[in-house]
Amino acid sequence: MKNINNSSAEFKSGFVAIVGAPNAGKSTLLNRMLGEKISITSQKPQTTRNRIIGVVHRPVSQMIFIDTPGVHRAKTKLNVRIVDAALSALGDVDVVLILMDVSNPDPDSESFIVKMLEKQKRRVILGLNKIDLVNKSVLLALIDKWAKAYPFDAIVPISAKHGDQVEELLDSMERLLPEGPPLFPEDTLTDMPERFIAAEMIREKVFRLTGQEIPYSTAVTIDSFSKKKKGALIMINATIHIERASQKGIIIGKGGSKIKSIGESARKDIERMVGSKVFLKLFVHVQKDWSKDTKALRNFGY
């Protein structure tokens, strides 16, 4: 393993916050840069609720990325806390990466983000994502628009889904990092515990496999996470928390079909993460209006 106290003046390390409107592709980009899945994704906005840290190791740099929740003008208690988590990341980093979806612009959220940037005085790179979904004239017009709107250190068009120009984006961020030794060992991908990522993977499957109403009323807690047979088997009991009794039947499905699909899909992702067989047992608990309850939000880690 590389000595993490290496003080070579040529080496760079630092923190980068990935910020953008809901559904801009921040988590997809982080997973692409890492080459591993640590941040959950779905077609629905506001899938990411917490700050997720991912570590990208390059020959002459180490970048510690903070994948933040989607920034928008929040109204509910849960969404206010989600946006606060995203904005609080800006004060702790060396570089801010703003990610925008060129195929589905969100002018309100994007102008809100730029106003926040003006207060931060950080080095900022703009990533224009989903370039595979627009024609060249639309892309060139957006590059021109944002070049006039804010003094970005670089504007890089990318496709996080397909990997187009992601290396060029990494190069542009690497140039802005301060000199310094690696901050994490070279085998570290994230500082998030396995229990947290397992809970997120279960929540992702709820987002992907249920309708519009259910995901935003869902939180997941890990009740037990134990290793058996010298780590060859991991036993996980987890609870899916919802807000209304009527949602319980939707999560469980006819004859338990929906919760079985959620469990099987989540188990496969968790097994890839831990490199072991996983026995996953899911429960469903109704906790009335938890997303409006300050104590419940705190208990669920928001």
Backbone angles phi, psi at 233, to 5 degrees: -135, 135
Which one, of 54, 63, 58, 64, lies nearest residue 2 by Cα? 58
- Looking at the structure, do residues 103 and 141 belong to the same domain, yes or no? yes
Q: Amino acid letter at 82?
A: I
Q: Amino acid letter at 156?
A: V
> Per the domain annotation, does 184 fall within a domain?
no
Determine the pLDDT at residue 9: 54
- Looking at the structure, do residues 22 and 164 belong to the same domain, yes or no? yes
Question: Is this prediction's pTM over 0.85?
Answer: no
Determine the pLDDT at residue 7: 44
> Per the domain annotation, does 277 fall within a domain?
yes
End residue of a domain, out of 174, 208, 226: 174
Averaged confidence pLDDT in the chain = 83
> Judging by DSSP bridges, how do beta strands 277-286 and 233-242 pair with one another?
parallel
> Per the domain annotation, does 112 fall within a domain?
yes
Percent share of the chain, pLDDT over 70:
82
Residue 8, classed as helix, strand or coil, is coil
> Per the domain annotation, does 295 fall within a domain?
yes
> Per the domain annotation, does 162 fall within a domain?
yes
**Mean pLDDT value of segment 146-168:** 95
- Looking at the structure, do residues 169 and 65 belong to the same domain, yes or no? yes
pLDDT classification of 82: cutoffs 50, 70, 90: low
Alpha carbon 102 to chain centroid distance?
Answer: 19
- Looking at the structure, do residues 20 and 110 belong to the same domain, yes or no? yes
- Contact predicate 63/177, CB 8 Å: yes
Backbone angles phi, psi at 237, to 5 degrees: -110, 130
End residue of a domain, out of 140, 174, 208: 174
Determine the pLDDT at residue 280: 96
Q: What is the pLDDT of residues 159-195, one digit of tens each?
A: 999 999 999 999 999 999 999 999 888 888 887 788 8
pLDDT classification of 255: cutoffs 50, 70, 90: very high
**Mean pLDDT value of segment 213-238:** 84
Q: Amino acid letter at 97?
A: L
pLDDT classification of 90: cutoffs 50, 70, 90: low
Determine the pLDDT at residue 72: 43
| DSSP 8-state secondary structure symbol assigned to residue 22 | T
Residue 90 vs residue 110, higher pLDDT: 110
- Looking at the structure, do residues 49 and 77 belong to the same domain, yes or no? yes
27, with CB counted inside 10 A (0-12, 13-18, 19+), is buried
End residue of a domain, out of 127, 142, 174: 174
Q: What angle do CA 84, 35, 238 make, to 5 degrees?
A: 60
Determine the pLDDT at residue 74: 47
Structurally, the chain folds into a number of domains equal to 2
Determine the pLDDT at residue 114: 77
Determine the pLDDT at residue 213: 61
- Looking at the structure, do residues 139 and 205 belong to the same domain, yes or no? no
- The residue range of the domain holding 92 is 12-174
Tokens at residue 289, please?
A: 């209006």
pLDDT classification of 274: cutoffs 50, 70, 90: confident
- Looking at the structure, do residues 95 and 235 belong to the same domain, yes or no? no
Q: Is the pLDDT assigned to residue 133 strictly greater than 90?
A: yes
Most confident of 62-66, 119-123, 214-218: 62-66
| DSSP 8-state secondary structure symbol assigned to residue 179 | B
Please list, in sequence order, all residues whose beta carbon lies within 8 angstroms of the beta carbon of residue 224, skipping any fewer than 6 positions away: 235, 236, 237
Distance CA 211, CA 250 (A): 9
Tokens at residue 76, please?
A: 């509910």
- Looking at the structure, do residues 44 and 90 belong to the same domain, yes or no? yes
Determine the pLDDT at residue 69: 66
CATH number of the domain residue 108 falls in: 3.40.50.300
- Looking at the structure, do residues 79 and 29 belong to the same domain, yes or no? yes
> Per the domain annotation, does 251 fall within a domain?
yes
> Per the domain annotation, does 188 fall within a domain?
no
Determine the pLDDT at residue 8: 44
pLDDT classification of 209: cutoffs 50, 70, 90: confident
- Looking at the structure, do residues 226 and 169 belong to the same domain, yes or no? no
Which one, of 86, 80, 69, lies nearest residue 294 by Cα? 80
Backbone angles phi, psi at 28, to 5 degrees: -60, -40
- Looking at the structure, do residues 140 and 260 belong to the same domain, yes or no? no
pLDDT classification of 105: cutoffs 50, 70, 90: confident
**Mean pLDDT value of segment 212-216:** 62
Q: Amino acid letter at 32?
A: R
CATH number of the domain residue 285 falls in: 3.30.300.20
Q: What is the pLDDT of residues 12-55, one digit of tens each?
A: 999 998 888 878 888 899 989 998 877 766 554 444 445 668 89
> Per the domain annotation, does 42 fall within a domain?
yes
- Looking at the structure, do residues 170 and 290 belong to the same domain, yes or no? no
